Amino acid sequence: MLEYEEIVNFIQKSCWMLDEEDFDGFLSLCSKDFQYKITAFSPELNKEMIWMDEDYEGLKNLLGMVPEHLTRLGKFTRHVTIGQTLRGNEEIIIKSSFIAVHTDLNGKSNIFGVGRYNDKIISRDKGVFLLSREAHLETRDLGIGSHVPI
């Protein structure tokens, strides 16, 4: 059984790897049946929306293409606060709040988006893996947007 401290370290690691754009590192934390989603609710349409929806392979391919894209310059920093952990038989559901701050090349930081992560992780012989992550955004005006998962 995973200790709470291990859970915190794992979630923090997953965010720091995305912060550093260490996509291989991030993918190494994901199980092969990983599902990633970015969602948001539109009060204009009164509908839930899915803004990004990829499985492990899809995400791997898209992340592999990021260096070829014209991406937002600077760096994201994901500030995560774990709110709840719910332990099932094998899986643990972790609900966290996040604030993603973007710092531009001049060192100026701005809030990019706020929301919640809904993560599912599993501890296997070979280590801890992310089974799924849903990043639900409250922020819907994302300026020029982004090519990378939040």
Scanning 3-11, 16-24, 52-60, 116-124 for contacts with another protein by CB under 8 A, the matching segment is 52-60
Q: Closest separation between CB of residue 15 and another protein, Å?
A: 17
Q: Does position 53 bind another protein by CB under 8 A? A: yes
Helix locations, 1-150, DSSP H: 4-19, 23-28, 56-65
Nearest to 26 by CA among 70, 79, 72, 62: 62
Which one of 1, 3, 47, 107 is in contact with another protein (CB under 8 A)?
A: 47
Pick 40 or 94: Cβ nearer another protein: 40
Q: Are 109 and 101 in contact (CB under 8 A)?
A: yes
Which one of 28, 61, 109, 110 is in contact with another protein (CB under 8 A)?
A: 61
CB atoms within 10 A of CB 97: 14
